[in-house]
């Protein structure tokens, strides 16, 4: 008789996990003992944090912290209900309106998490007979939403416009079509070629949705990828999350008012989940005010990113097609990626090791990302560690080899 748990011993992922744990190279689910700031403590060691999505550094901003504390004092710790019923507070509605204005849309709707935003939006909009067309590098929450919806999912090659054109051209002309791209891709750090995507979608009668989880607060002066390209009116739906630049948790979808209202009444992940607690909502309000009034944070973020990109290039690392504050260090070897991650920890630098299925087979990398609050001394410390580890593990040429 088969046992449901028999699959565990045969699972290839768990075999890799067990092997990594035995060698001491398992990097996941290991705890930081403090902050999301530029410097953290990991298992008793101080490390420069270049593995965070805290792009504007607002999780430690005293104004943001105070907003959360005041909201706890006023509203308590939870709303204990869905936004559909007793879970909507005035601060939710105010945030809906502010976010819509910030990204340039008629309406917006706040969800409890970014994952639920994508799943809820896709399952609400894509029904039987419809098609949802996604970039092969789109986030897992998008893929899951596509698998849960009643429509059919098609995929095109990453940032390949001719591939998108071909996929759309093979679909029935009278079918509903939704194309979804990430504004900024979370592993490669590259921006979607939105002008070309828009042109092709218009030609094929397809609607467009951007997952701008890593774009809001970063691109377009902080207002996102559509604003960056001047194409806000040409994009139908803009999705964002609060767990990056907004220093909180949650997500939102923005678009035309009638479309957002439709999602509001059909997104099961919204209707059947408790609403975002008031302290998290207040945190987003405070972060949004800072984004609106202090553009220097975004500028510092990009200055830091360009400094690191140039530094990695000078050392001889491959950073792929990154053109944002997400800079992958591509090593193309699972084991060496794990070794490099552990060696960097010893040198006082925290990165994120990413191996399949997080990236395609053979594409293992160390994901690094930067904050507006990083100081030059933090960045120089990180580059110094990458030089030491890179030369020690033969990942880059030694200083002597690099000299002509």
Q: For residues 139 and 118, is the Cβ–Cβ distance under 8 A? A: yes
User: Could you tell me if 247 and 312 lie in one domain?
Assistant: no
Range of the domain at 77: 61-293
Residues 335 and 383 placed together within one structural domain of the fold: yes
Listed range (51-65, 212-226, 351-365) with the worst mean pLDDT:
351-365
Which of 255, 259, 258, 195 shows the shortest CA–CA distance to 226?
195
Q: Which of 336, 332, 294, 319 is nearest to 370 (CA)?
A: 319
Confirm if 103 and 223 have CB atoms less than 8 A apart.
yes
Q: Are residues 286 and 305 in the same domain?
A: no
Residue 400, pLDDT score: 58
Decide which of 262, 293, 324 is a domain's last residue. Answer: 293
Q: Are residues 40 and 78 in the same domain?
A: no
Yes or no: say if 221 and 298 are a contact pair by the CB < 8 Å rule.
yes
Q: How far apart (Å, rounded) are the C-alpha atoms in residues 363 and 330?
A: 7
Both 272 and 343 in one domain: the answer is: no
The model's pTM is 0.95
Whether 52 contacts 368, CB under 8 Å: no
Q: Does 5 reside within a domain?
A: no
132: β partners: 153, 178
* Residue 239, H or E segment: strand 237-241
pLDDT in tens, 321-364: 999 999 999 999 988 999 999 999 999 999 999 988 888 888 89
Strands 207-211 and 349-350: unpaired
Q: 155 phi and psi, to 5 degrees? A: -125, 150
Percentage, residues of the chain above pLDDT 90: 90
The confidence score (pLDDT) of residue 154 equals 98
Q: Which residue(s) pair with 330 in the sheet? A: 365
Q: 328 forms bridges with which residues in the sheet?
A: 367
**Cα distances (Å, whole numbers) of residue 104 to 97, 101, 119, 284, 289:** 11, 5, 23, 17, 16
Instruction: Using the 3D structure, point to which of 293, 326, 351 is the last residue of a domain.
Output: 293
Domain match, 235 and 362 both: no
- For residue 311, what pLDDT is reported? 98
Q: Are residues 65 and 45 in the same domain?
A: no
Same domain, 193 and 97: yes
Domain assignment of residue 4, yes or no: no
Confidence of residue 5 (pLDDT cuts 50, 70, 90): very high
* CB half-sphere exposure, 27, CA atoms < 13 A: 21
Question: Average pLDDT for residues 37-65, to the nearest whole number?
Answer: 95
> Can you tell me the distance from the alpha carbon of 103 to that of 252, in angstroms, rounded to the nearest whole number?
11
Start-to-end Cα distance in the chain: 68
* Domain match, 53 and 119 both: no
Residue 172 shares a structural domain with residue 264: yes
What pLDDT is recorded for position 403?
45
Residue 399 buriedness (CB in 10 A; 0-12 / 13-18 / 19+): exposed
Residue 1 domain-assigned (yes or no): no
Which residue has better confidence, 66 or 404? 66
- Whole-number pLDDT of residue 401: 54
Other residues' Cβ atoms within 10 Å of the Cβ of residue 199: 14
What sign results for the dihedral spanned by CA atoms 296, 298, 300, 302?
negative
Beta bridge partners of 327: 368
Whether the bond into 357 is cis, omega within 30 of 0: yes
Determine the 3-state secondary structure of 142 from DSSP: helix
pLDDT at 178 over 50: yes
Overall domain count for the chain: 2
Which one of 293, 311, 331 terminates a domain? 293
| 232 and 327 share one domain | no
69 within domain boundaries: yes
CATH number for 177? 3.40.640.10
pLDDT at res. 342 = 95
Percent of the chain at pLDDT > 70 equals 98
CB atoms within 10 A of CB 175: 13
Q: What is the pLDDT of residues 67-86, one digit of tens each?
A: 999 999 999 999 999 999 99
CATH number of the domain enclosing 311: 3.90.1150.10
Q: Are residues 130 and 24 in the same domain?
A: no
What average pLDDT does this structure show over 135-139? 96
Give the pLDDT of residue 336. 93
Rounded CA-CA distance 168/197 in Å is 11
């Amino acid at each position: 008789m088969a046992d449901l748990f028999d699959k565990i011993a045969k699972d290839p992922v768990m075999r890799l996990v067990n092997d990594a744990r035995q060698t001491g190279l398992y990097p996941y689910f290991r705890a930081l003992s403090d902050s999301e700031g530029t410097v953290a403590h990991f298992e008793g060691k101080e490390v420069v944090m270049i593995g965070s999505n805290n792009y504007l550094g607002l999780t430690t901003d005293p104004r943001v912290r105070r907003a959360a504390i005041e909201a706890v004092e006023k509203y308590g710790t939870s709303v204990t209900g869905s936004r559909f019923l007793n879970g909507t507070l005035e601060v939710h509605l105010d945030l809906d309106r502010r976010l819509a204005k910030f990204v340039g849309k008629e309406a917006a709707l706040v969800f409890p998490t970014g994952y639920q935003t994508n799943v809820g939006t896709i399952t609400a909009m894509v029904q039987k007979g419809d098609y949802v067309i996604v970039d092969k590098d789109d986030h897992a929450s998008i893929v899951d939403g596509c698998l849960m919806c009643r429509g059919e999912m098609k995929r095109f090659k990453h940032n390949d416009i001719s591939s998108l054109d071909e996929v759309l051209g093979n679909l029935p002309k009278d079918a509903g079509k939704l194309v979804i791209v990430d504004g900024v891709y979370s592993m490669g750090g590259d921006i979607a070629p939105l002008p070309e995507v828009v042109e092709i979608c218009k030609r094929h009668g397809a609607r467009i949705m951007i997952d701008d989880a890593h774009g809001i607060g970063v691109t377009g002066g902080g207002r996102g990828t559509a604003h960056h390209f001047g194409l806000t009116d040409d994009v139908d739906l803009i999705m964002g999350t609060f767990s990056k630049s907004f220093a909180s948790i949650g997500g939102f979808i923005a678009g035309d008012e009638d479309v957002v209202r439709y999602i509001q009444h059909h997104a099961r992940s919204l209707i059947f989940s408790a609403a975002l607690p008031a302290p998290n909502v207040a945190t987003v309000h405070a972060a949004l005010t800072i984004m609106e009034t202090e553009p220097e944070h975004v500028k510092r973020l990009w200055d830091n990113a360009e400094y690191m990109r140039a530094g990695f290039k000078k050392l001889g690392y491959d950073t792929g097609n990154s053109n944002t504050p997400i800079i992958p260090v591509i090593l193309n070897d699972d084991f060496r990626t794990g070794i490099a991650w552990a060696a960097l920890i010893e040198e006082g630098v925290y990165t994120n090791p990413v191996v399949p299925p997080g990236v395609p087979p053979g594409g293992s990398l160390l994901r690094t990302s930067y904050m507006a609050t990083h100081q030059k001394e933090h960045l120089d410390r990180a580059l110094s560690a990458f030089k030491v580890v890179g030369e020690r593990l033969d990942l880059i040429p030694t200083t002597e080899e690099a000299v002509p």
